[in-house]
Amino acid sequence: MRRSRFSPAGQRTALTYALLGVFLFIAVMPFVGIVLTAFKTTAELANSPFALPKAWRWENFVAAWEGARFAAYFQSSVLVVVPVVVISTILATLSGFAFGMYRFPGDSLLLLIILLGLMVPFEAVIIPLWQIMGDLGLRNTYWALILPQVALSFAFGTFWMRANFKNLPTELVDAAVVDGCTTWDVLWRVLFPLSRPAILSLVVLLFMWTWNEFFLVLVMASGDLRTLPVGLALLRGRYATDVPVMAAASVMVLLPVLVVYIFFQRQFIQGMIAGALKS
């Protein structure tokens, strides 16, 4: 049973689609524009900013990768993001397990203290952090970028994994304990397989946040230690005024998150919404 195109309801639906289409266009078009620009020459961009590039040229990407040092920034990004995501996920899974499955003296107080980490911006910790990193001799090393992000990700991850463990059926755990499983067995063999969806969402969210992190890296890193967003924002010299090269560099920053987002958009959106509702 199809609604007639001319019925009031059909008109309404058509209007809805049209309006949504306009908003979708506004949301997506700037990204499409930057990708197209990345393949154009400067002259081509000036003459026809809205057209498709005449040829799919990769020179701008080469210029950004080699000339503007984006190879180094890319390496930095990977060397920071991978440890942050892996370490935070492990630490948060363990602490989420503790908060979700045990009760112990001070648990609600500790949880409140960790809740603070969900609210504070990096601005609130950056000055002492800079000092601490100097004292530890870690300033201008990857650790100065990794450890603070692990600490803040741990706060979010703890709440995330705690919610996950609390929602798992306790009967399974009880049964496993009766069967004589050790705590570690319960966590690793019983609960971990059930927690995979939650862990996947956590990994995806932490990946995005760490990849896009700007303020901490801006303060803590210089030279080739900079990650992609900071390298891009601080790009100076002849490439900084070359819009197609800037566009190619921007695409390099976007692409990894974009690929992950398209594959895991459900985890992204539900994760950010659920994370917001819970915290």
Partner 1 sequence: MTGGTEAGLKPASSTLGTRLAARLRGGGRPFARPYQAYLFLLPGLAVYVVFVLIPIFGTFRYSFFDWTGFSPPTFIGLANYVELTRDADFWKAIGNNAFFVIFYTLIPILLGLFLTSLMTRGRLRGLVIFRTGLFLPQVMSPVVVGIIWRWLFALDGPINELLRAVGLAAWARPWLGDFTFAPYAVGVVGSWVQYGLCMVLFIAGAQSIDEELYDAARVFGANAWQQFRHVTLPGLRQQILVAFVLTFIAALRVFDLVFVLTRSGGPGKQTLVTSILVYQQTFNRNRAGYGAAIAVVMTLIIVLVSVVVLRLQARDEARDAAITV
By CB under 8 A, what part of segment 173-202 binds partner 1?
173-174, 177, 183, 186
Assigned token pair, 57 = 């040229």
The residue (of 71 and 87) whose beta carbon lies closer to partner 1 is 87
Closest by alpha carbon to 203, among 249, 141, 271? 271
User: Binding residue for partner 1 (CB under 8 A) from 64, 80, 85, 155?
Assistant: 155
The residue (of 59 and 123) whose beta carbon lies closer to partner 1 is 123
Q: Which stretch binds partner 1 (CB under 8 A): 57-65, 67-75, 143-151, 195-203?
A: 143-151
CB of residue 180 vs partner 1: minimum separation in angstroms?
Answer: 14
User: Binding residue for partner 1 (CB under 8 A) from 63, 114, 202, 245?
Assistant: 114
Q: Which stretch binds partner 1 (CB under 8 A): 57-65, 66-74, 78-86, 263-271?
A: 263-271
Assigned token pair, 41 = 């020459």
**189 Cβ contact list (under 8 Å, min separation 6):** 176, 181
> How far is residue 123 CA from its own chain's centroid?
19
User: Binding residue for partner 1 (CB under 8 A) from 53, 140, 141, 261?
Assistant: 261
User: Binding residue for partner 1 (CB under 8 A) from 58, 113, 137, 188?
Assistant: 113
CB of residue 10 vs partner 1: minimum separation in angstroms?
Answer: 10
The residue (of 134 and 197) whose beta carbon lies closer to partner 1 is 134
**What is the Cα–Cα distance from 174 to 180, expressed in whole angstroms?**
10
Please, what's the b/e burial string for 200-222 (b: 16 or more CB within 10 A of its CB; e: otherwise)? ebbbbbbbbbbbebeebbbbbbe
Query: Dihedral of CA 247/241/226/59: which sign?
Result: positive
The site that binds partner 1 (CB under 8 A) totals a number of residues, namely 102
CB of residue 68 vs partner 1: minimum separation in angstroms?
Answer: 13
Say whether residue 82 binds partner 1 (CB under 8 A): no
User: Binding residue for partner 1 (CB under 8 A) from 11, 14, 20, 66?
Assistant: 20
The residue (of 71 and 274) whose beta carbon lies closer to partner 1 is 274
CB of residue 202 vs partner 1: minimum separation in angstroms?
Answer: 13
**What is the Cα–Cα distance from 222 to 139, expressed in whole angstroms?**
10
**What is the Cα–Cα distance from 139 to 254, expressed in whole angstroms?**
27
**What is the Cα–Cα distance from 111 to 106, expressed in whole angstroms?**
9
Say whether residue 63 binds partner 1 (CB under 8 A): no
Say whether residue 31 binds partner 1 (CB under 8 A): yes
Q: Tokens 């397990």 sit at which residue?
A: 97
**Is 235:165 a contact under the CB 8 Å cutoff?**
no
**What is the Cα–Cα distance from 210 to 276, expressed in whole angstroms?**
18
| Residue 97: Cβ-neighbour burial (10 angstroms; 0-12, 13-18, 19+) | buried
Max alpha carbon distance in the chain (Å)? 75
Site string for partner 1, 197-236 (x = CB under 8 A): -----------x--xx-xx--xx--------xxx-xx---
User: Binding residue for partner 1 (CB under 8 A) from 36, 72, 111, 194?
Assistant: 111
Say whether residue 243 binds partner 1 (CB under 8 A): yes
Q: Looking at this protein, which amino acid is placed at residue 153?
A: S
